[in-house]
Structure 1
Amino acid sequence: MQDAYPLNDAVRDYFGSDVSGELWTDIGRLQRQDYLTVMFGIVEYFSKHMDSGGRIIDPYAQREIQYATPGYAAAAALLFDVLGGARMLETAAKALTTSLRELVTKTCPVGTSNFFITMVVFAFEHLREHVSDEQVRFWKSEFAQLHWPHVHLPTINNWHIIALSGEQLRARIGLGPALTATEVDRYLAPHLELLTDYGMYVDPNGPMAYDLFTRKYLKLMLLNGYDGQFKEHLTEFLRRGDLTSLFLQGPTGEMPAGGRSSHHQWNEALQCFHFETAATQYALAGDLRAAGAFRRAAHLSLAAVRRWVRQSGELSIVKNWADPAARTGYEVYSHHSQYNLFTAYLLGVAYVHVDDTIEERACPAETGNHAIWIEPYFHKLFVNVRGNYVQVQTRGEPSYDPTGIVRIQHKGVFAPLGPSNGVPTKHGSGIAFAPAWRNPHRYINDNNPRRFTSERDIVSGGTVRMADLTDFHSVSIDAHVEQRKADKIVVQVEYRGTMGGVFLLKRVLTVTPEAVIVTDEAVGHVDSFTEEIPLLVFDGEHRVDVHFAEKRLDAALGQDRLAVYVLDSAPVQWSKHDPVAFRNGMLSFASYDTVGRTSSYLVYLYRAAEPVTDQRLIELGKE
């Protein structure tokens, strides 16, 4: 890649500093075997949902879903290869046979053949030494009938890359008429335009999950012998991507929120794969400091997945405890079977690359000190000061992300109280840490208020909510670090343009190891200024205990706690708003009006048996 890596300074500063004395989150001493434990629970659960033909039947949709069956074959094959068990072998072989037959007959559910090949090759490699020669010959005969049109549904972006990766894998071990190296390069070439200087892949609308997803399949190609004309380019791209993901990971181990498929467990399973492979590569190069950081990041990711194991052994596929039948936080394409088994497969691929001799070292998620603004395409700002972490969606997207602060996390606080994501405008109203204002032009009919989501709407006055502003192309956005010290980072985000009476909105974020202070100032013609504070109220199983006092609100889920304290001098009157379903359960928001056009408040996440005092919050606000 020709341009310099934008995070060179952040990487150099972090690995050149001594963070050995920083406190880490207690997640237990995780080992390679822990990957298998999570996989086993998933596979054991879905073995009970295999029909006589070897297909995995989703217990809620009551049909075979997408690539659930090859996902089962891959995960079960590895489990048998490592742990044994006659029933595991029988069901893995049955699922592999069925998956290959669906490929040959072009009957893969809803046209998901692109996803099958990497999984069936993985299953074949882990089963071929444990079955009869006759069975191996039959499987090879099935592979031999697969030509590119069989396995590649014509499409663009990540679906195309996964099919190319499958071709690379089967070419390596001679499973049928795979694409030649020249053909792979020809298909791969256009995708180079979607590789950014940060080492990120741009899928439509910049979803974080499908950046990491696509990189996984590009990395699989290199790990399986890709030696084409783009090898050097992809090697550098993936090196950068591993480091970017390391520095964007949150202290709870989660991948950044944003876009399609956010908050699905396979997000963190992907991190496990990338971080474990990176740890091994850095260790082989002799850089044990970086290798240990990636190992710790992988363990944080695995711990994030393990947090969502259900009593029945499988996972809640999205990070909430609602009944899977309710599909809370799901995408249209999300199903209990395929995303559980895809997660199991990814954990298996990570397991293969684990080196347990690499010792954990401190990683940026828990001990970092950086501010990173990912532009263009992704529109995300990240600030992390020693495990106190803020994610800002600087420019929202109507279907997935509001404009504003969408995530605040603190190491050791695992409940998504921060919250862990906002609510997009497609649900009626965007919800984020974001201000709202009323311009001087009154409603014609106050009984029929309008909300404004774009410049086109802001023509006749009314209330403008920053969280709803997702289509404001004439508004310029700038984010820059005002101050950076070992225990504090101050970032200013400025919005300039026509925003319903506001011409300049300045947001100053002051992040310390303990607190986040938000100061908003509006310049323009406004009658009133309001701050909106997101509130998790239900995680699908547990109600959040919420209390309001004069200048503060508190939320508690178990011993995980959130306190918000208004730093303005004037009295505060809180308003509460109706909750809506979102990724983590139900999210509401509270709001308060200010006297002028500026306001400051403090957000404090902590774990304790008792609430923190007002005086302590005031002290934190002065730091």
Structure 2
Amino acid sequence: MKQWNRWNPSSYGWADEARKYEQLLHQSQPLPASDWTHERKVKMLSQMVDYYASHQQADGAIIDPYSQAERYYSTPSYALAAAVLVSSGREDLIDSAASALTHSIELLVSERTPDQHPDFFIVMIMGAYRILKEKMPEQAELWRQALATIEPEQTYLFTMSKMKNPNRMINWNAIMLSGEVIRQAEGIASKDTTWIDNYLQKYHLPRFTSLGWYEDGPLDRPNSPFAYDIATRYHLGVMMLSGYAGTTATALQSQLQHGAISSLLTLSPLGELPPRGRSAQHQWNEAAAAFVFTMQAQQAYADGALQWAGAFRRAADKTWAAIEKWQTSEGYVQIVRNHFPAEQRHGYEVYSNHTTYNLWTAAALAYTLWYEQPEEITSYPIPAELGSRTLQADGWFETVFSSVPDQQIVIHTALNDPYIIPGIARIQRAGLHANLATSSPGHRDQGFTEFNAGDIFPLIHMPAWQTEDNVWHHLAEGIPTATPFDRDTGVDPSDGGGSYRIEQSSTTADHNHLVIRWQGPLQGINYVVATYEQSPGHIVVTYEVVANDEAEAGNSTEQIKQIGAWIPLFLSDGQASSTIKTERIDRQSLTARAEQSINEWDTADKVGASSATMTEQEQVEVITVTYRDQYIRIVPRTPQATITFPNEANEVASRNGLLRGARIEATGSRISFELFL
């Protein structure tokens, strides 16, 4: 098979893991034909556009049904999505798309864009223009004349002429550059790319990590949300496909290639991108990923790397499916993955808007359809479906991924960020609802995020410990930093002296062993060791806290009265609630497969946990969470451990709805529990 010539293993940070996956990929079999046909995608997009067509005003503006105003870049997003549907045969949308385009151009050139977001307009305007100009030549000339009046340094907001600050050349600037390349390609702007090259070379290429991920935020302290990594790469991908050939084109193409592989390696079994930072769990994350995966599938296909192409094709299909699950009968999607009414804004960011983020999602899906080639690419398994791996993010992303076939856990590692707290942030398994084992945690500081219900509490899978003064502490309690937390700029993970490292990591075909050590200063202790063992359907977690640097692991109980493990339990999505109960059950009633896996890779030898006593008991106390006709069980493995439900975590806000916190408690400095998925 021809080598995929756009992958540069000498500079790609996960080259070894990519090679291992490639070997598995070559040994795998093609999957059945995908039911995500072009027609199905067009239908899904049509339903979204048709809903918002009913909210279009006479002047072409799209009005949000909840805020009763035109918001952000809703109208140009609609223009692009409707225009792509016109190209797919929806001739009934020509006038509607043209009206939205005319209105959007007028707002941009007159510097009257809603909510001061001009930088987002041009890439959507130019996409709609390219399609509609052939169908409406006389109107197109008026559009062209108006677009020719744009002076980028003055028309847009995030430019050096206006900001005079390199730290502010963030995703907004890259998005604007993408649209300006299309304006050049259409002969409306000068063909000279020097000023675009300068922005890309100075402010954007330095933001890419060795994994091809884009670190958004100030250059000296990027906050690195995964949402704005994928959004920026999506727009830069549009720019490349629109003909950018400036001085940074080769380097940029390599980074986009690497980023696509990294996103493929970390995509969950359910087709969701990793949660981290602002705008996590918003549908447009997966819409941007659909574009990235689709374009990489086509590039791999053109290079003859058919299995890589098939894996990217399957990844793209999974992201479409992840969005479709949240599409309502009216056509719009729940922009955040919960079922609270849109007007309640639960889990929304302060800037999230029902119309804007539905139509931004529609626009990204529209660009995906516009560039999608007719070749039939045969699907192959994505990494989440093949083998086991542990992946450590680089740069400022502060995330570790651990997976076995059809199952993934995502661990956040920074000790000093109250918006992105440390611990297992997500557990997902194929066939289970994404919310069941939790897809997003609580917060210590809600930052950008708004909630309609629930308390702000840093609830996540994490260790806890009770000191001799009877006070309970936990890993997400935080470390004081020299620089106060700022939601816009984020925090330096090393500020305050906390750190983490992976101490052990090993995998087999269907088993993953991972040990992470978090180093203080922490309240009453010096460090925490967390051990994660997983096989399909089964996860064992062991925490050990050490209060004295000189103490040998397993021998330190100084200052520690009890050890605990916080467990986030999904409570409600705003529509359906879980049933959470504790009961004592016969251990033999646990699945034979899980029992077999316990015997095969018991953690006792690795971390000193005494699980033998537990497995010999006839009955154990368990927590069962039942949600939408599916259930999981959490079972203490430490002898004589008790399960409590502290009042401070009785109803905790998360982007997906509400969580309830349980805490497993035991004497000593080590505790272990298991999850049956």
Would you call these one fold, judging by a TM-score over 0.5? yes
Distance 1:442 1:14 in 2: 48
Q: Which moved more, 1:352-361 or 1:97-106?
A: 352-361
Could you say which residue in structure 2 is the equivalent of 1:537? 571
- Look up the match of 1:61: 67
Deviation at 1:557, TM superposition (A): 1.6
1:4: Cα distance to partner? Answer: 2.7
For structure 1, which segment, 201-210 or 352-361, has the greater mean C-alpha deviation from structure 2 after superposition?
352-361
* 1:193 CA drift (Å): 1.6
Displacement after TM superposition at 1:112 (Å)? 0.7
Deviation track 1:522-553 (CA, whole Å, cap 9, x = no partner) reads 11132221111001110111011211124211
Give the structure 1 partner of residue 499 of structure 2: 476
Asked whether the equivalents of residues 454 and 472 of structure 1 are also in contact (C-alpha less than 8 Å), the reply is no
State yes or no: 1:590 paired with 2:662.
yes
Determine the structure 2 residue equivalent to 1:195. Answer: 208
Deviation at 1:149, TM superposition (A): 3.3
Of residues 153-162 and 485-494 in structure 1, the stretch that sits farther from structure 2 once superposed is: 153-162
Match in the other structure for 1:460: none
Among 139, 148, 152, the alignment partner of 1:148 is 152
Report matched runs for 1:79-94 at 5 Å.
Answer: 79-86=85-92, 88-94=93-99
Q: Identity of paired residues, percent?
A: 30
1:511 equivalent to 2:518? Answer: no
1:98/1:396 CA distance change after superposition, 3 Å: farther
CA displacement at 1:27 relative to structure 2: 11
Q: How does 1:252-291 map to 2 (within 5 A)?
A: 252-291=270-309
- 2:442 corresponds to 1:437: no
Superposed, which structure 2 residues align to 1:19-418 within 5 Å? Answer: 29-86=35-92, 88-131=93-136, 133-154=137-158, 155-175=168-188, 177-178=189-190, 180-190=192-202, 191-204=204-217, 205-355=223-373, 356-395=375-414, 398=417, 400-418=419-437
Q: Measure, in 1, the Cα distance between the counterparts of 2:416 and 2:354.
A: 26
Correspondence 1:502 to 2:525: yes
The amino acid across from 2:150 in the alignment is L
1:286-329 deviation digits (Å, cap 9, x = unpaired): 00010000000000110000000012111010111110000010
Q: CA deviation at 1:345?
A: 0.6
SS at match of 2:624: strand
User: Per the alignment, in what secondary structure is the counterpart of residue 425 of structure 1?
Assistant: coil
2:337 aligned counterpart, secondary structure: coil
The code of the aligned residue for 2:275 comes to: A
- Measure the CA separation in 2 of the matches of 1:151 and 1:320: 37
How far apart, CA to CA, are the structure 2 residues paired with 1:553 and 1:379? 30
Contact 2:534 2:540 in 1 (8 A): yes
How far residue 85 of structure 1 moved from its aligned partner, in angstroms, is: 3.1
Q: 1:178 to 1:509 in 2, by over 3 A?
A: farther
Give the distance between the partners of 2:633 and 2:30, measured in 1 at CA.
22
User: Within 2, Cα distance between the matches of 1:452 and 1:477?
Assistant: 13
Equivalence for 1:465: none
Using the alignment, how far apart are the partners of 1:388 and 1:404 within structure 2?
17
Counterpart among 477, 484, 492 of residue 453 in structure 1: 477
Cα distance in 1 between the residues matched to 2:97 and 2:428:
39
Give CA deviations for 1:436-486 in whole Å, capped at 9, x if unaligned.
11223467xx9xx999834449xxxxxxxxxxx988631231014432111
2:640 & 2:30 partners in 1: Cα distance?
38
1:579 maps onto 2:651 in alignment: yes
* Unpaired runs of at least 5, structure 1: 458-468, 606-623
Q: Give me the whole-angstrom Cα distance separating, in 2, the residues matched to 1:271 and 1:521.
A: 38
State how far apart, in whole Å, the 1-side matches of 2:650 and 2:268 are: 28
Report the Cα distance in structure 2 between the residues aligned to 1:27 and 1:407, rounded to whole angstroms. Answer: 30
The 1-side partners of 2:293 and 2:340 are apart by 30
Corresponding residue for 2:636?
566
| Structure 2 CA distance for partners of 1:337 and 1:392, relative to 1, 3 Å | same
Question: Are the counterparts in 1 of residues 346 and 657 from structure 2 also a CA contact under 8 Å?
Answer: yes
**Alpha-carbon distance, 1:147 to partner:** 1.5
For 1:259 and 1:361, locate their aligned partners in 2 and report how far apart those are by CA, in whole Å.
31
Q: Secondary structure at the match of 2:445?
A: helix
How far, CA to CA, are the matches of 1:439 and 1:471 in structure 2?
25
Q: Which moved more, 1:577-586 or 1:111-120?
A: 577-586
Match for 1:555: what amino acid? V
Q: Describe the shift of the 1:314–1:575 C-alpha distance in structure 2 as closer, same or farther (beyond 3 A).
A: same
Is contact 1:195–1:202 with CA below 8 Å preserved after alignment? Answer: yes
The verdict on how the C-alpha distance between 1:28 and 1:159 changes in structure 2, with shifts beyond 3 A counting, is: same
Residues 58-67 or 407-416, more deviating: 407-416
Of 10, 14, 34, 2:17 maps to 10
CA–CA distance in structure 2, aligned partners of residues 452 and 369 of structure 1: 28
CA distance in 2, matches of 1:382, 1:591: 24
1:603 aligns with 2:622: no
Greater displacement, 534-543 / 423-432: 423-432
AA of the residue aligned to 1:453: E
One-letter amino acid matched to 1:511? Q
Gaps of 5+ in 2: 1-7, 159-167, 218-222, 447-455, 482-491, 548-558, 585-620
Cα distance in 2, alignment partners of residues 359 and 404 from structure 1: 37
Measure, in 1, the Cα distance between the counterparts of 2:518 and 2:117: 42
Change (3 A) 1:415 1:183: closer
User: 1:325-352: per-residue Cα shift (whole Å, max 9, x none)?
Assistant: 0001000000010100010010011112
Task: Name the residue aligned to 1:547.
Answer: 581
How far does the alpha carbon of each residue in 1:41-68 deviate from its partner, in whole angstroms, 9 at most, with x for none? 1111111111121111100011000000
Distance 1:337 1:441 in 2: 51
Instruction: Please state how far the C-alpha of 1:365 moved relative to its aligned partner.
Output: 2.3
When the two structures are aligned, how many residues end up with a matched partner?
A: 586
- The verdict on how the C-alpha distance between 1:114 and 1:377 changes in structure 2, with shifts beyond 3 A counting, is same
Shift in Å at residue 22 of structure 1? Answer: 8.5
Distance, in Å, in 1 between the alignment partners of 2:46 and 2:496 is 49
Query: Separation in 1 of the partners of 2:152 and 2:388?
Result: 47
Alignment partner of 1:526 is 2:541: no
Q: Distance in 1 between matches of 2:674 and 2:653?
A: 26
Q: For residues 477 and 489 of structure 1, what CA distance do their matches in structure 2 show?
A: 19
Counterpart for residue 516 of structure 2: 493
Q: What TM-score results when the alignment is normalised by the length of structure 1?
A: 0.90
Deviations 1:375-414 (Å, cap 9, x if unpaired)? 3301000011101100000115645321110100001112
Which residue in the other structure is 1:615 paired with? none
Say if 2:637 and 2:672, in contact at 8 Å, map to a contact too.
yes
* C-alpha contact (below 8 Å) 1:543/1:557 kept by paired residues: yes
Is the partner of 1:210 in helix, strand or coil? helix
Read off the aligned partner of 1:164 and give its amino acid letter. L
Stretch deviating more after TM superposition (294-303 or 138-147): 138-147
